[in-house]
Structure 1
Amino acid sequence: MPEQSTVLLLALLPGAGVAAGGLVAELAPDSKKWLNWSLHAAAGIVIAIAAIEVFPEALDSVSRWTVGIAFAIGGLGYLGAGMLVEKCAEGSGRMWMIFLAVATDLFGDGLLIGAGTAVSADLGITLAIGQIMANIPEGFASLSTFRANDTPRPTRLWLTAAFLVPAIAAAVLGFLVLRTRPEAWQYSALTAAAGLYTVAAFEDIIHEAHATTSDNRRSTLALIAGFTLFVFTSALLGD
C-alpha cells in the first residue's frame, strides 16, 4: 500500500507544472502562436491520459455501464464547478476567473492522482507525470494573463505558489477515502475524475488556445504530438 508521503509527492507535480509554466511566462516574451500550440499539446496529453491509462484499466474491473455513469458524474461535476467559479468570480475580472478555473482543474488533477494511487502506485506515478506535462502550458497561459492585467510580480508569484494547494488537498482526500474501498469503488472514482479532467481539456484548454490566436495545421500537429508524447512516455514507464 503506497504511503501518504508518496501521494503528497505525486500531488506536488501538477502544481509544479503550473508553476514551471508560470516561470516561463515570467521570463519569455509573449508569443500567441507558441501559446496556442502548447495548449493544443496539453489537450492531446489530457486525452491520452484518459484513453491510454484510465479507461482501459477501468474496463478491466468494472462494467461499461459503470464507466459511462462515472464519466457522466465527473463531467457534470465539472459543469457544476464551472458555474460556481463563474458565480464566485463575477465582477472580479477575467484574471480571477482564470485563477479559480485553474485551481478547480488542479483539484481534479489531485483527485485523479489520489484515486489512481489508491489503485496502484505505478498508475499514480504515470498519471502525475502526464499531468505535469499538460499543466506547463496551462501555467504559462494563466500567468501570461496575470501579467497582461498588470498584476504585480510578487502577487503573481504568490498566486503561482497557491496553485500547489488544491491538488495536494484533493489527492490526499481521494487516497484516504479510497484506499480501503472495494476495487469497483476505486475505478469508478478514477473514471469520474478522468471525466472531469477530459471535459476540462475540451472546455478550458482548447477554448483558451482558440482565444489566443486562430488555429493552423501546426495547432493540430501539436495536439497529435502531445498525445503521442504521453503514449511513448507511458510505454517507457511501463517497460
Structure 2
Amino acid sequence: MNELLVIFLYSLLPVLGTFAGGLTAEFFQISKKNLSLALHAATGIILAVISVELIPRSLNATTPWIVILAFVAGGVFFVILDQLINYMQVKSGDLSQSTAAWAIFVGTTIDSFTDGLMIGTGALVSINLGLLLAVGVVSADLPEGFATVAALKDKEIERKTRILLLISASVPVLIGAAAGYLLVKGQSPIVEYSILAFTAGILLTVTVEEIIPESHKHGEARLAALVLISAFALFTLISNYLPT
C-alpha cells in the first residue's frame, strides 16, 4: 500500500477520536468525575508519547542542541497561541457568540494540525512509529472533542454549527500529516528530529498548562493518579511490543 495513504489512514484515528468525543457531549451526560478520569488517562498517554518515543528518538540527532532548541520553540509557540486564543475569548464576552466559537475553533484546529504534523513526520522515521503516535494522540482527542462541543453548547451555538465546527477543526490533522510527510521527506534527519521535538514541546506545554489543571477541577485524586500511571504504562507496553 502507498506509504502516504497509510499515513492518511493513521491520521483518521485522531479525527474519529475528536468526533467521537464531540458526539458524546452532544447526546450523553458525562459526569465531572468521569471526565476528570478521562483527562488523567490522556495525560498519562501523552507523557508516555513524549518521554518514551519523541524525545529519545529526537536525541539521536548528531547535533542535539538544535533538537533541544526546537523543543523549547514548541513550548513557546503554544504559549503565544494560547495567549492569542485567550485574548479572543475575552473579547467574545463583549462581542458575539460567533467570536467565542471562532476562538474555540482556532484552538482545536491548530492542535489537530500539529497532531498530523507529528504523525506524518514520525512515519518517516518508522511507519510503526506513525501508528503509535496516532494511537497516542487519540487519547487526548477524545476528551478534547468532548470539551470543545461542551464549550460550544455553553455558548448556545446551535447544534448544526457545533457539528460543522467540530468536523472542520478535526480535518486539519490530514493536512498536517501530508505536510509532515511531503515537506520533510528527503530532508536531512535533523529536520525530522527537530519537528518531532517541536511537537513534543507543544504536547508537554498543553498537557501541563491545559489538560492537567482541567483534570483537577473536580477533586479527583487517588483513583485519577492510578488511571494516569496505568495509561502511561499501557502506552509504554504497546511501544515496546510494537517494533518501530
CA distance in 1, matches of 2:202, 2:51: 14
Which one of 134, 143, 163 corresponds to residue 157 of structure 1? 163
Shift of 1:198: 1.6
- 1:124–1:73 Cα change, 3 Å: same
Any idea what SS the aligned residue of 1:91 has? helix
Q: Who is 1:28 aligned against?
A: 28
Amino acid in the other structure paired with 1:231:
T
Task: Give % identity.
Answer: 37
Deviation track 1:158-177 (CA, whole Å, cap 9, x = no partner) reads 12211222211222112111
Q: Which residue of 1 aligns with 2:203?
A: 197
Structure 2 counterparts to residues 5-154 of structure 1, below 5 A? 5-92=5-92, 96-154=102-160
- Give 1:113 deviation, angstroms: 1.0
Aligned mates of 1:3, 1:192 — CA distance in 2: 23
| Deviation per residue, 1:151-207 (Å, 9 max, x gap) | 322122112211222211222112111111011211111111111122111112113
Is 1:188 aligned to residue 229 of structure 2?
Answer: no
Asked if 2 retains the 8 angstrom alpha-carbon contact of 1:105 and 1:200, the reply is no
Counterpart residue identity of residue 37, structure 1? L
Residue type of the alignment partner of 2:201: G
Residue-pair matches, total = 238
- 1-structure distance, mates of 2:178, 2:32: 36
Where do 5+ consecutive residues of structure 2 fail to align? Answer: 94-99
Structure 2 counterpart of 1:82, which letter?
D
Task: Indicate whether 1:234 and 2:239 are aligned.
Answer: yes
Indicate conservation of the 8 Å contact 2:106/2:169, yes or no. Answer: no
In structure 2, relative to structure 1, the CA distance for the partners of 1:2 and 1:89 (3 Å cut) is: farther
The one-letter amino acid paired with 2:137 is Q
Select between 2-11 and 92-101 the one with higher mean Cα deviation: 92-101
- Counterparts of 2:157 and 2:61 in 1: how far apart (Å)? 48
Change over 3 Å in CA distance of 1:87–1:170 after alignment to 2:
farther
Q: Which moved more, 1:84-93 or 1:155-164?
A: 84-93
Question: With structure 1 as the length reference, what TM-score do the two structures score?
Answer: 0.89
Deviation at 1:25, TM superposition (A): 1.7
Q: Contact 1:41/1:226 (CA < 8 Å) preserved in 2?
A: yes
Displacement after TM superposition at 1:50 (Å): 0.8
Q: Does the 8 A contact of 1:105 with 1:197 survive in 2? A: no
**Structure 1 residues 102 and 210, CA, compared in 2 at 3 Å: closer, same or farther?**
farther
Shift of the 136–30 alpha-carbon distance from structure 1 to 2, 3 Å rule, reads same
Work out whether residues 108 and 170 of structure 2, in 8 Å CA contact, stay in contact via their aligned partners in 1. Answer: no
Please report the RMSD computed on the Cα atoms of aligned residues, expressed in angstroms: 2.2
| Separation of aligned partners in 2, 1:203 and 1:174 | 25
Gaps of 5+ in 1: none
Match of 1:219 in 2: 224
What letter is aligned with 2:78? Answer: Y
